[in-house]
Amino acid sequence: MGCRDRNRHPTKPGTKHLTQAKRCDPDGQYVRRYVPELADAPGLDGSRIHEPWQLDAADRRKLNYPEPIVDADWGNQRFRAARAK
């Protein structure tokens, strides 16, 4: 991986991690290497491999991928509300 997001500091809050992942790792090679549950997952193309929590429950079970702990939309809303204070 040699992709860098020159517009954002990597540790700055609000960095768009999914956008960067899709741009820098479009085929999901990095994810497949470091997330063994997704390494040989059929049907997960480059864009879908970066958001496995979006799969339906049956597909997650087939991959032995855990259920989401926090709803991402809810978490993002809480983050934005706290940051606005």
Q: Does any domain span residue 4?
A: no
With respect to residue 56, please indicate whether it lies within any of the assigned structural domains: yes
Residue 7 confidence (pLDDT) above 60? no
pLDDT of residue 2: 58
For residue 30, name the pLDDT band (cuts at 50, 70, 90).
very high
Q: Is residue 11 part of a domain?
A: no
Please state, in angstroms and rounded to a whole number, the distance separating the CA atoms of residues 53 and 62: 13
- How many independent structural domains does the chain possess? 1
Domain region containing 74: 17-84
Mean pLDDT of the chain: 81
Query: Where does the pLDDT of residue 67 fall: very low under 50, low under 70, confident under 90, or very high at 90 and above?
Result: confident
Better-predicted residue by pLDDT, 15 or 71 = 71
Domain membership flag for residue 71: yes
Whole-angstrom distance, CA of residue 45 vs CA of residue 26: 9
CATH number at residue 68: 1.10.579.10
Q: Which residues contact 20 (CB under 8 A, 6 or more apart)?
A: 3, 5, 8
